[in-house]
């Protein structure tokens, strides 16, 4: 070490000793403030020991002065002036100022302890200003100031920009992304494992937000709890959202595929299609999404199913009440000869379009092979009361675009109804887009799809194009899944990436698969943080007790979150990415925290309070015996003179108009 450095250290050491000797209490107070700052890295922490120390000093001085006054009652009160400079020393002082000095020491030390404890508590693992427990130097998670120019704050409310997509809480404030702001459609993809709080912390708040936006809502309600509420594990009733919607003048429609006995509106896919091309698309989508198998059998089953649906739709001999999926299933039990004669007659009479006639001819030679596969896929759609739901037809897919409507699709947990759901959503999307284009490019009433368990709906044809091109039409898609692997398996990796790339909001609650965790962590990127490292030489045994830990600080780049940390997210937390902003680390908005929850009636409700009853009486045409002509409808027969019966052709002339 050079002589200059030795001299410098000597001067500083002597000056320090002199300062301690002259103002020992002042040095103590300053050290407490400086230590609090070094530990917490917050300037406010340094002020805490100072403020508490001065406050206690004044309080102690006042108390001592009061005691001094009481001792001299009846006599002249001696003046006890404040000696603030003396508080910082160890000089001899009068009792009042000695008490003040004691208060200053106790307050400074107590303030430092509280600042250090508060600093430990405040240093969380993730959030604005913190990345993996380290202070942020550059980048990191978004705070409310960073989001202010794009987002709105506070719970959903009536009025302009009172709705939008409810994301969560950042710095304790509810953050919403308004739909249409800066051209955003706010299509949203949400991932979260079962039990992560998607329904209570995301779906319910976003239903309320959609109502304040004046939008119709199409909801997939896997358990029927969104509509009518449920009983929790404690046996207490938790209300659904239906009464809130009714109070805001919403029509409620229920498409109940889980428990039709509770009631349901009806939707008949065979009667919904408006032209041959649309009809063909629906038939192919329904059979192909029902399961994966060899291309040969998948193609044969598609051909047979499409041909049978066409025959049910266009057969001039069939009564209108026979035109439904239950009849398609029944036709599989007909003798092949009877079916072939039916196709031949209807095609030659000009009733059956050639496309369906060709499909039949390509599949009839292996009818028995393909019929089993079709029967397995169609059977679940034709069981009991479910057949009645798909036989009646009182759901108008365009109602949601014409008046405020909430359509609840209640899905079963058992059985594969993806063919029905695929056709339902495909045709609804198509109807809305066409209607918007006819209405100067926008829907009279905007429509928000909140589709929980999206992977269970099945692959919706052209959905990647829907998300890309439906922006600005008044349609917002919110899809909710458990894992990215579900999505990629359903749509294929390329289409899944395309769809996610068109989502303005990509959000994740706690997930259980590493692929989803890795996807989000890579998307969050990195930030520059202040890294503190500690080093202590413990080579010799006595150094463990005597060696002073040396701490060094450096700036390093660090990932905002690692995939294993995504798997460990606490309940009621979420992460998200939105356009032009840094990633968000949030707590979810509990439905019970909103005033709308507290205003809901607590009387138990059921699905039957909102849905019409379903009839299990689903008529089908009689099955002919082998070698017998196609049977006539029971009420449309007349006797031959020699016995038997024949159809009255003039009662069945012409092709019904199903448009």
Report pLDDT digits (tens) over 250-281.
999 999 998 899 999 999 998 898 888 888 88
How far apart (Å, rounded) are the C-alpha atoms in residues 56 and 51? 9
Cα dist from 517 to 485, 512, 554, 568, whole Å: 11, 8, 28, 10
How far apart (Å, rounded) are the C-alpha atoms in residues 447 and 216? 5
Beta pairing class for 134-138 and 126-127: unpaired
| pLDDT tier for residue 421 given thresholds of 50, 70 and 90 | confident
Taking a C-beta distance cutoff of 8 angstroms, is the pair 177, 504 a contact?
A: yes
Beta bridge partners of 554: 531
End-to-end CA distance of the chain: 98
Report pLDDT digits (tens) over 276-299.
888 888 887 777 665 555 667 778
| pLDDT tier for residue 579 given thresholds of 50, 70 and 90 | very high
Q: Rounded mean pLDDT of 61-88?
A: 73
- With a CB cutoff of 8 Å and minimum separation 6, the contacts of 545 are none
**What is residue 130's predicted lDDT score, i.e. its pLDDT?**
93
Report pLDDT digits (tens) over 297-323.
778 888 999 999 999 999 999 999 999
Tell which residue, 38, 26, 30, has the closest CA to residue 553: 38
- pLDDT above 60 (res 494): yes
CA 358 to chain centre: 45
The SS3 call for residue 570 is: coil
**What is residue 646's predicted lDDT score, i.e. its pLDDT?**
34
Ranges 82-86, 165-169, 272-276, 352-356, most confident: 165-169
How far apart (Å, rounded) are the C-alpha atoms in residues 226 and 255? 13
CB atoms within 10 A of CB 378: 23
Report pLDDT digits (tens) over 443-468.
999 999 999 989 888 888 888 888 88
How far apart (Å, rounded) are the C-alpha atoms in residues 53 and 112? 10
Cα dist from 608 to 255, 265, 613, 630, whole Å: 12, 11, 7, 40
How far apart (Å, rounded) are the C-alpha atoms in residues 465 and 463? 5
Please tell me what DSSP assigns to residue 548: P
Q: Rounded mean pLDDT of 463-491?
A: 89
Q: Rounded mean pLDDT of 33-61?
A: 79
How far apart (Å, rounded) are the C-alpha atoms in residues 111 and 114? 5
The SS3 call for residue 543 is: helix
Please tell me what DSSP assigns to residue 471: T
**What is residue 284's predicted lDDT score, i.e. its pLDDT?**
78
What global pTM score does this model have? 0.76
| pLDDT tier for residue 549 given thresholds of 50, 70 and 90 | low
Taking a C-beta distance cutoff of 8 angstroms, is the pair 307, 456 a contact?
A: no
**What is residue 434's predicted lDDT score, i.e. its pLDDT?**
92
The SS3 call for residue 190 is: strand
- pLDDT above 50 (res 657): no
How far apart (Å, rounded) are the C-alpha atoms in residues 208 and 243? 12
- With a CB cutoff of 8 Å and minimum separation 6, the contacts of 81 are none
Report pLDDT digits (tens) over 351-365.
999 999 999 999 999
How far apart (Å, rounded) are the C-alpha atoms in residues 362 and 360? 5
How far apart (Å, rounded) are the C-alpha atoms in residues 275 and 261? 32
CB atoms within 10 A of CB 565: 15
Taking a C-beta distance cutoff of 8 angstroms, is the pair 266, 251 a contact?
A: no
Burial of 463 (0-12, 13-18, 19+ CB in 10 A): buried
- pLDDT above 60 (res 382): yes
- Mean pLDDT of all residues in the chain? 85
How far apart (Å, rounded) are the C-alpha atoms in residues 518 and 512? 11
Taking a C-beta distance cutoff of 8 angstroms, is the pair 521, 562 a contact?
A: yes
Burial of 457 (0-12, 13-18, 19+ CB in 10 A): buried
How far apart (Å, rounded) are the C-alpha atoms in residues 382 and 622? 16
How far apart (Å, rounded) are the C-alpha atoms in residues 278 and 286? 12
- pLDDT above 90 (res 202): yes
Q: Rounded mean pLDDT of 551-580?
A: 92
What does the H/E/C string look like for 399-418? Answer: HHHHCCEEEEEECCCCCCCH
How far apart (Å, rounded) are the C-alpha atoms in residues 150 and 181? 8
Give the ranges where 530-619 is alpha helix by DSSP (H): 543-546, 563-567, 595-598
Taking a C-beta distance cutoff of 8 angstroms, is the pair 382, 326 a contact?
A: yes
- pLDDT above 50 (res 654): no
Please give the share of the chain, as a percent, with pLDDT higher than 70.
Answer: 89
| Range from 345-354, 539-548, 575-584, 648-657 carrying the lowest mean pLDDT | 648-657
Cα dist from 366 to 89, 301, 371, 624, whole Å: 105, 10, 8, 20
CB atoms within 10 A of CB 310: 25
Buried b (16+ CB within 10 A) or exposed e, 251-262: ebbbbbbbbbbb
The dihedral built from the CA positions of residue 322, 326, 327 and 330, taken in this order, carries a sign that is negative
**What is residue 564's predicted lDDT score, i.e. its pLDDT?**
93
Tell which residue, 255, 264, 188, has the closest CA to residue 427: 255
For residue 91, which phi and psi values (nearest 5 degrees)? -65, 160
Please give the share of the chain, as a percent, with pLDDT higher than 90.
Answer: 51
Taking a C-beta distance cutoff of 8 angstroms, is the pair 619, 388 a contact?
A: no
Q: Rounded mean pLDDT of 123-147?
A: 91
Give the ranges where 230-383 is alpha helix by DSSP (H): 242-247, 269-272, 276-288, 295-314, 325-331, 336-348, 354-363, 367-379
What does the H/E/C string look like for 426-464? Answer: HHHHHHHHHHHHHCCCCCCCCEEEEECCHHHHCCCCCHH
**What is residue 95's predicted lDDT score, i.e. its pLDDT?**
83
- Dihedral, CA of residue 84, residue 89, residue 93 and residue 97, to nearest 10: 40
| pLDDT tier for residue 647 given thresholds of 50, 70 and 90 | very low
- pLDDT above 50 (res 65): yes
């Amino acid at each position: 070490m050079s002589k200059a450095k030795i001299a410098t250290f000597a001067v500083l050491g002597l000056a320090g000793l002199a300062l301690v000797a002259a103002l020992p209490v002042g040095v103590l107070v300053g050290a407490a403030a400086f230590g609090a700052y070094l530990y917490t890295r917050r300037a406010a922490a340094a002020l805490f020991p100072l403020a508490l120390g001065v406050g206690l000093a004044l309080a102690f001085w006042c108390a001592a002065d009061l005691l001094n006054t009481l001792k001299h009652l009846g006599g002249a009160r001696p003046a006890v002036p404040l000696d603030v400079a003396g508080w910082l020393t160890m000089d001899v002082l009068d009792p009042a100022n000695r008490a003040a000095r004691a208060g200053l020491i106790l307050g400074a030390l107590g303030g430092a302890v509280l600042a250090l404890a508060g600093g430990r508590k405040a240093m969380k693992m993730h959030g604005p200003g913190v990345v993996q427990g380290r202070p942020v130097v550059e980048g990191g998670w978004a705070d409310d100031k960073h989001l202010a120019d794009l987002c709105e704050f506070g719970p959903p409310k009536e009025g302009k920009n009172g709705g939008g997509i409810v994301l969560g809480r950042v710095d304790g404030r509810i953050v919403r992304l308004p739909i249409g702001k800066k051209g955003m459609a706010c299509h949203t993809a949400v991932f979260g494992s079962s039990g992560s709080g998607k329904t209570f912390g995301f779906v319910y708040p976003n239903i309320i937000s959609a109502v304040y936006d004046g939008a119709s809502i199409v909801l997939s309600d896997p358990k029927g709890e969104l509509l009518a509420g449920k009983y929790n594990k404690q046996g207490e009733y938790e209300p659904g959202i239906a009464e809130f919607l009714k109070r805001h003048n919403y029509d409620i429609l229920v498409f109940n595929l889980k428990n039709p006995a509770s009631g349901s509106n009806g939707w008949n896919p065979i009667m919904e299609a408006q032209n041959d091309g649309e009809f063909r698309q629906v038939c192919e989508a329904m059979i192909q999404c029902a399961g994966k198998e060899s291309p040969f059998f998948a193609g044969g089953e598609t051909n047979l199913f499409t041909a049978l649906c066409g025959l049910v739709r266009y057969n001039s001999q069939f009564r209108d009440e026979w035109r439904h999926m239950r009849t398609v299933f029944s036709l599989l039990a007909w003798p092949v000869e009877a079916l072939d004669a039916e196709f031949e007659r209807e095609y030659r009479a000009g009733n059956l379009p050639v496309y369906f006639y060709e499909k039949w001819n390509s599949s009839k030679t292996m009818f028995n092979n393909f019929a089993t596969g079709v029967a397995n896929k169609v059977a679940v759609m034709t069981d009991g009361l479910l057949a009645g739901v798909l036989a009646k037809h009182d759901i108008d897919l365009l109602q949601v675009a014409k008046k405020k409507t909430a359509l609840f699709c209640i899905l079963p947990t058992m059985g594969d109804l993806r063919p029905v759901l695929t056709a339902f959503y495909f045709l609804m999307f198509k109807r809305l887009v066409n209607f918007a284009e006819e209405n100067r490019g926008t829907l009279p009433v905007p429509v928000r799809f909140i589709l929980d368990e999206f992977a269970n709906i099945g692959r919706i044809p052209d959905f990647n194009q829907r998300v890309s091109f439906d922006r600005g039409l008044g349609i917002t898609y919110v899809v909710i899944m458990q894992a990215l692997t579900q999505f990629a398996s359903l749509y294929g990796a390329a289409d899944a990436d395309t769809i996610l790339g068109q989502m303005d909001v990509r959000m994740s609650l706690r997930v259980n698969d590493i692929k989803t965790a890795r996807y989000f962590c890579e998307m969050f990127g990195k930030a520059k943080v202040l890294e503190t490292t500690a080093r202590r030489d413990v080579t010799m045994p006595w150094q463990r007790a005597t060696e002073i830990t040396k701490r060094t600080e450096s700036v390093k780049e660090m990932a905002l979150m690692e995939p294993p940390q995504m798997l460990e997210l606490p309940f009621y937390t979420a992460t998200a990415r939105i356009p032009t902003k840094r990633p968000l680390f949030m707590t979810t908005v509990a439905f019970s925290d909103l005033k709308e929850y507290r205003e809901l009636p607590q009387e138990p409700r059921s699905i039957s309070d909102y849905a019409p009853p379903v009839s299990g009486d689903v008529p089908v045409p009689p099955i002919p015996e082998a070698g017998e002509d196609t049977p006539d409808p029971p009420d449309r027969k007349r006797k031959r003179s020699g016995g038997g019966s024949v159809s009255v052709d003039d009662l069945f002339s012409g092709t019904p108009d199903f448009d």
